[in-house]
Amino acid sequence: MKLVNHTLLYLSAALFVIIGVWAVIFYYSMLDEVYDSIDDGLDNYKMLIIQKAGSDSTILKKNTFEESNYSITPISRGQALQSVERYSDTLMYMQNEEDFEPVRILSTVFSIKDTYYKLDVISSMVEEDDLIEDLAYYLVFLYLALLVSIYLLNFFILRRTWKPFYTLMQRLRHFNLRQPRPLEVPETKVSEFRELNQAILDLLKNNIEVYNSQKQFIENASHELQTPLAISINKIELLLEENDLDEEKALALSDVIRNLERLTRLNKSLLLLTKIENRQFAEEESVDFNELIKQQISDFSELLEFKQISVQLHENGHFRQSFHRDLAFVLVSNLLKNAIIYNVPEGNIQIEINADSIRIMNTGTAQALDPERIFHRFYRSSAHQNSTGLGLSIVKAIAELYRMQVSYSFDGMHGFSLKK
């Protein structure tokens, strides 16, 4: 969710609460004002009726509401002394509405010539149900109007305010650490954005320096290791060619050569893995994996024949992907080599190629490997301690580089799948 919409969401929730609280306060405040206004009108009407009763005795006979808003009923002196002026709400049948409607009644007493009377004055009042309903409609309209207004403000004003930030994010997405060009930060008058721009420039500068330093160190270290390793292997091989070595020394020197060769492979694999993770393979082309797999099967034909392993290739589709050709070669080579090395004599390899996936299955141990660790660096099964443990790690690194999914499964055969 974008920051602008995230802000709008919180504002919407806050407005809902604020308007709800405000509506309750407004409703009771308005109702109180309505009651005050009606009570003032009833009190004034009462005074007018009492004044008129003093000069016109005919109205003292008006003891029903009917066509007027008051009624006068004679009472005893005792009842008069016990009466208290009060306001009350009740329902009264209205002819025009043909229903009972709420009214406000003022009940009081007065006396004329030692005769006591009870006076009831009524006034129609607002219906609370209608008032709540109307208020709810207007509040919903107000809430929606505020939301639309805030959204428009977000779209036209805040979006423009945040434009330098979005521009910076877009340029960062296209920034390439392998081909560093000076990052052009957008001009802005907002101090926070200026500080962000400067912080990013400083961070990128440090990262570029560290990246170049690590890249140079790895390349130099790999190169410096390869030369003495090759020299050591050659010298030991020359020693083995001498005839004066006994069998025990020859076996010891053979072990040394084997370990040095493993160290050489390990050095090359780690260098390759580091280059993949640093995304140092920029050139890409359309690679036909069907032809590449066929080529690799041909290259491994002698090893396959030696271990008497049969290969079945099922081409259900054409798998083509934009790839660095060398990495595509390493990817297929490592998967096939893994299927051959960890296979059993007279075993079987089945390769299934679809338009969006490649699956390589091989016979081997009767137990499944650990799917959580099999792609980790230096993971080796106990039966193959001479392995570097980096082949499948390289496969996973290449797959992730090109946003492909690699997975392991076991259903009697060990299977490795690549999916676009």
Sheet holding 348-353, edge to edge: 310-315, 348-353, 357-362, 414-419, 405-410
Q: What is the DSSP letter of 108?
A: E
Decide the pairing of beta strands 70-75 and 357-362. Answer: unpaired
Which pLDDT score is estimated for 206?
84
Domain boundary among 243, 277, 311: 277
Same structural domain for residues 210 and 97?
no
Q: What is the pLDDT of residue 357?
A: 92
Q: Does the pLDDT of residue 95 top 70, yes or no?
A: no
State how far the Cα of 27 lies from the Cα of 245, in Å rounded to an integer. 108
Pair 383, 256 in one domain: no
3-state secondary structure labels for all residues of 122-150: EEECCCHHHHHHHHHHHHHHHHHHHHHHH
Strands 285-288 and 310-315: unpaired
Q: How far is CA 64 from the centre of its chain?
A: 72
Relative orientation angle of helices 3-55 and 128-153, to the nearest 10 degrees? 150
Domains in the chain, number: 3
Among the three residues 115, 148, 181, which one is the final residue of a domain in this structure? 148
Model confidence at 86: pLDDT above 80: yes
- Clarify whether residues 130 and 35 are in a common domain: yes
Mark whether 322 and 365 lie in a shared domain.
Answer: yes
Residue 222 lies in a domain: yes
Domain extent at residue 250: 193-277
Identify whether residues 299 and 253 lie together within a single domain: no
Same domain? For 133 and 9 the reply is yes
Average the pLDDT over each of 52-56, 239-243, 312-316 and give the range with the smallest value.
239-243
Q: Would you place residue 157 in the very low, low, confident or very high pLDDT band (cuts 50, 70, 90)?
A: confident
Q: What average pLDDT score do residues 48-56 get?
A: 84
Distance CA 9, CA 4 (A): 9
Whether 251 is in a domain gets the answer yes
Asked if 227 and 295 sit in the same domain, the reply is no
Unique residue bearing structure tokens 């570097």? 388
Do residues 313 and 295 touch, judged by C-beta distance below 8 A?
A: no
Q: Can you give the C-alpha Rg of the chain in angstroms? A: 46
For residue 188, give every residue at least 6 positions away whose Cβ sits within 8 Å of its Cβ, in sequence order, or none: 164, 194, 197
Do both 366 and 385 map to the same domain?
yes
272 and 203 within one domain: yes
User: Does position 279 have pLDDT exceeding 70, yes or no?
Assistant: no
CATH number for 211:
1.20.58
Quick one: pLDDT at residue 350? Answer: 93
pTM for the model = 0.48
Mean pLDDT score across all residues of the chain: 81
State the average pLDDT over residues 122-146: 77
Residues 261 and 299 in one domain: no
- The answer to whether residue 202 sits within a structural domain is yes
**102, part of any domain:** yes
Of 148, 181, 214, the position where a domain reaches its end is 148
The answer as to whether 155 is a domain residue is no
My answer on whether 32 and 141 are in the same domain is yes
The average pLDDT across 335-347 equals 88
- Whole-angstrom distance between the N-terminal and C-terminal Cα of the chain? 27
264 and 291: one domain?
no
* CATH number for 373: 3.30.565.10
